[in-house]
Structure 1
Amino acid sequence: MNGKEIFLIPNIITLSRVFFLLPSIYYLSNNQILYASFFLVWVFISDFFDGFLARKLNQTSFIGAILDPICDKLVVLALFSYFFLQEMVPAYYYILILTRDIAQLLSVPILLFWKKIAFKVKPKLIPKWGTALNFIILALLALPLLPFWTQLAFPFFNALLTLLILVSSFVEVSILVTYIPRFIQIYKGTHDTFE
């Protein structure tokens, strides 16, 4: 692991996602939706750009592979916490998100710094779908906050949001069912990759 990797362009973009998250929450909490929207747009699109640029510039790195999912989880946890406190997210779904993301966040320091175990991150399709669904749901939750929003233009909005949350819930459970045994295997040294 090379410390200079942190300064690669894709990794700087990844880290900016967390820095832009703070003003997003601040402006949302103070009902300054226009300012919040500016920061939230970057939070959402940067998740695409960091990976795209890493491949395009040939700047994939171990630090980037660890940072990207960590920053994704911090974004997901912070924004879902905000929307849950606004009573816009059902409790069961919020608990699933908390359980999955906190379990995955805790595994990094446990394995890297406490156990000193090297591991790889090569997410398969279902975890990628899980994160994509999280971001889609967060974007939909943010829509009604916009000043131009009118439900008349999107009559099936609530039904769509409910359906996506249900699908995402099944995906979250599926990820947890495979993730926890894999964490135990890596902890015991019988496997080296989170998939």
Structure 2
Amino acid sequence: MPSSLVPQQQWDTDAVWTIPNVISFVRLLGIPAFCWLIVIGNDLGAIILLVVFGATDWVDGFVARRLKQRTQLGARLDPIADRLYILATVAALMFRGLVPWWFVMILFARDVMLACLLPILKRHGLVSLPVNYVGKLGTLLLLFALPLILLGGHSSIGWPAAHWIGWFLGVAGALAYWAAGLLYVRETLHLAKDR
């Protein structure tokens, strides 16, 4: 097995209802409200909610380490919540006419590609691959880019600087997102070959 696929995380507990997991569940439940705020044009409310949920993304990890409540479920919920926020946000922005359909499809296609790896991973007793730093960078860039694109949009506040910085970060984030996806494909193919 490639060294990058060796589980390196020790879990503190198998419990589901830990404080960090509850924070992650609340974040997931906030996605529909966040998207609705974008769709109805309440951009300030959407950005405030995004900042709050972005902060909880850091808080849940901090609390898990501090209270020794790191769980395998929590490690899976975190990237799922990030992906859902990104995909839901770009879909809502596309609905508002602030991002083109092809940008949504680029991000969506990457996650479809990763979903195609699941049967191979399951065959080898894995549910997912460890999150890599390129993927974390892509997620971070996109989570910064999307609110800026919203603020820079013609149907929003219309700040030109926010528009251009948002799109610069968005393109960089999409490239990192895809680079991470290709690394996951490579690791999965190594796994399939080595077993």
8 Å CA contact 2:117–2:185 kept in 1: the answer is no
Q: Distance in 1 between matches of 2:182 and 2:15?
A: 32
8 Å CA contact 1:21–1:39 kept in 2: the answer is no
| Gaps in structure 1 of 5+ consecutive residues | none
Residue 93 (structure 2) aligns with: 83
Match of 2:140 among 132, 140, 153: 132
Amino acid at match of 1:43: F
Q: Distance in 2 between matches of 1:179 and 1:121?
A: 7
Residue 177 (structure 1) aligns with: 182
TM-score normalised by the chain length of structure 2 = 0.76
Residue 190 (structure 1) aligns with: 194
Instruction: Give the direction of change, closer, same or farther, for the CA distance of 1:121–1:37 in structure 2 (3 Å limit).
Output: same
Amino acid at match of 1:190: D
Listed one character per residue, the Cα deviations across residues 166-187 of structure 1 (whole Å, up to 9, x for unaligned) are 222321231222122223344x
TM-score normalised by the chain length of structure 1 = 0.76
Match of 2:149 among 137, 141, 144: 141
Listed one character per residue, the Cα deviations across residues 11-66 of structure 1 (whole Å, up to 9, x for unaligned) are 11111111011112223323344544453333222211111211222211111111
Residue 23 (structure 1) aligns with: 33
Residue 4 (structure 2) aligns with: none
8 Å CA contact 1:17–1:46 kept in 2: the answer is yes
Instruction: Give the direction of change, closer, same or farther, for the CA distance of 1:138–1:150 in structure 2 (3 Å limit).
Output: closer
Instruction: Give the direction of change, closer, same or farther, for the CA distance of 1:159–1:33 in structure 2 (3 Å limit).
Output: closer
Equivalent residues in 2 for 1:54-133, closer than 5 Å: 54-105=64-115, 107=117, 110=119, 115=123, 117-118=125-126, 121-133=129-141
| Gaps in structure 2 of 5+ consecutive residues | 1-10
8 Å CA contact 2:148–2:165 kept in 1: the answer is no
8 Å CA contact 2:39–2:93 kept in 1: the answer is no
Report the count of equivalent residues. 184
Instruction: Give aligned-pair identity as a percent.
Output: 23
Q: Distance in 1 between matches of 2:72 and 2:193?
A: 19
Deviation at 1:106, TM superposition (A): 5.7
**Higher relative contact order (Cα pairs below 8 Å, separated by 6+ residues):** 2
Instruction: Give the direction of change, closer, same or farther, for the CA distance of 1:182–1:121 in structure 2 (3 Å limit).
Output: closer
Instruction: Give the direction of change, closer, same or farther, for the CA distance of 1:3–1:59 in structure 2 (3 Å limit).
Output: closer
SS class of match (1:88): coil
